[in-house]
Chain A
Amino acid sequence: MCLAAPMQLINIDGETGTARMNAVRQAVDLSLIESPAVGDYVIVHAGFAIEKLDRKRARQMFRALNTLIERRARHEKA
């Protein structure tokens, strides 16, 4: 029940806004997070943005994992 999806804020109007993920657009309530801005990625649960998503950290994680795969591929070749 704690399912939540990352979505990008494309419009803000007071305490509510519109967020999008691929072709899906939906209204989100922004009253639970600090200073939302258009372009932010937020985690949406039951119509509320409950937290922002830090894209820099997301990228770091996938970069680290890619390094692991490359290292393993090299190891297998050797």
Chain B
Amino acid sequence: MKKHDSAHHSMIRALIERIKTLPVPGEGVTFMEVCGTHTMEIARAGLKKMLPPHIRLTSGPGCPVCVTPISYVDKAIALCREKNCVVTTFGDMFRVPGTASCLERERARGADIRIVYSPIESARVARDNPGKRVVFLSVGFETTTPGIAATILHAGDAEIRNLFFLCANKTVPHAMDALLAGGKAALDGFLCPGHVSAITGSLPYRAIAARHNVPCVVAGFEPIDVVRAIAMLLVQTAEGRHDVEIEYDRVVRPEGNRKARDIAERVFEPADAEWRGIGTIPGSGLRLRGSFACVDAEQVFDLSHVVSREPRGCRCGEILAGAILPPACRLFGKKCTPEHPVGACMVSSEGTCAAYYTYEQ
């Protein structure tokens, strides 16, 4: 074990010992880690097993790929079948099943689909292929949206006219609010997403904390960050507080990153959005502003023929709402595995079903 790892390990152990001494209400507490990156790190570090049984962690809807509706995947598939079209996408979307196919299968059949690390690469693909229409699959939360907006502005400045965006960007605080307002999950606190909050700041969680009487702590992504954030939530619980605190204060400021938000707001405006399995949440999505209609794939291409159907038996919706654990799904580990995913939660490494399958079994 590296020196760095063992130092971290002792810190985690020391903090967990301290956590065990903190008072917890009779029936214990359930905290939700909203972010898929947290879900993966918690599973990888085996944190759930290290915590005492009366402190429960449940996963939330914070994997952008998992909450992207199946109709979006079907539209992406329709686009990659268009003549002279190139689809560029983050790797996470590549294997998400649509109604009858997925991007991976389409590429095997000859479609031009390119995985990009950054939206900027899409602008490069468009510039280098002036005879083709390039569509970037624009999914992501507040962390990702400003970079996509910057790419759209940059492509406009560079007069790149053959780059389009199929947008399903979403905002996290609205979903957290909807989960509690819908009574879908009984929670005693939120571990708020660190990198979303780097952009939004911690202020948007204030209304949620106050409305639903739940403490919120913005957490970083090292296992030690997560444990520290849990300790902070427990202290708030013991003191009967529902405040918003920042554990990840080496990166997140209460006011967030104003400049990045301004760039995102120049390009996108709030809209209602469908969250896979959860339904439509008012104001929880982003659509391109009217002045960017010329790069909006939904407006430029005719996608009206696309018909979608959810996979039968998949319970991703309840899992994303923190209502059940993956083994409660009949398909889990049988018909649905990371090699042959049925639902989106089994595809992305950050999906709750995939994290559970890989680390918790």
Chain A contact residues, CB within 8 Å of chain B = 1-4, 29, 31-34, 43, 45-48, 50-55, 57-58, 61-62, 65-66, 68-69, 72
Contact = CB atoms under 8 A, between A and B. Distances in A.
Contacts of A62: 11
Interface residues of B, number: 48
Contact of B14 (A3, A54, A68): A68
Interface in B250-271: 250-252, 257, 259-260, 263
B141 A2 contact: yes
A29 B151 CA distance: 10
Contact of B144 (A33, A45, A57, A61): A45
A50 B146 contact: yes
Contact of A57 (B90, B249, B259): B249
Contacts of B263: 31-32
Chain B interface mostly helix, strand, loop or mixed? helix
B213 interface: no
B36 A2 contact: yes
Contacts of B250: 53-55, 57-58, 61
Q: 9 nearest interchain CB pairs?
A: A47-B118, A48-B147, A32-B260, A51-B198, A58-B250, A57-B250, A2-B143, A2-B195, A65-B11
22 contacts: A1-B36, A1-B140, A1-B144, A2-B143, A3-B195, A29-B147, A31-B150, A32-B263, A33-B259, A34-B259, A46-B140, A46-B147, A47-B117, A47-B121, A50-B146, A51-B260, A53-B251, A61-B249, A65-B14, A65-B228, A68-B14, A72-B17
B37 A32 contact: no
B14 A46 contact: no
B199 A50 contact: yes
Centre residue among B65, B249, B250, B263 by max chain A CB count within 10 A: B250
Interface string B214-252: 000000010010001000000000000000000001111
Contacts of A61: 228, 249-250
Contacts of B168: none
Interface string B80-102: 00000000001010000000000
A32 B259 contact: yes
A28 to B, nearest CB: 9
B249 A54 contact: yes
A3 B260 contact: no
B55 interface: no
A6 B348 CA distance: 22
A51 B147 contact: no
B15 interface: yes
Given A3-B37, A53-B251, A65-B15, 9 more contacts: A1-B143, A2-B140, A29-B120, A29-B147, A29-B150, A32-B263, A46-B118, A51-B251, A69-B11
- Find the residue from A29, A58, A65 having the highest chain B CB count within 10 A: A65
Interface in B168-204: 193-196, 198-199
Main secondary structure of the interface of A (DSSP, over half): mixed
A32 B119 contact: no
Contact of A43 (B62, B64, B251): B251
Interface in B34-78: 35-37, 62-65
B350 interface: yes
Contacts of A4: 143, 195, 198
A43 B14 contact: no
A50 B35 CA distance: 17
A68 B13 CA distance: 10
A29 B252 CA distance: 19
A48 B224 CA distance: 25
B143 A45 contact: yes
Nearest to A76: B17
B312 interface: no
A45 B147 contact: yes
B150 A50 contact: no
Nearest to A52: B251
A25 to B, nearest CB: 14
A43 B195 contact: yes
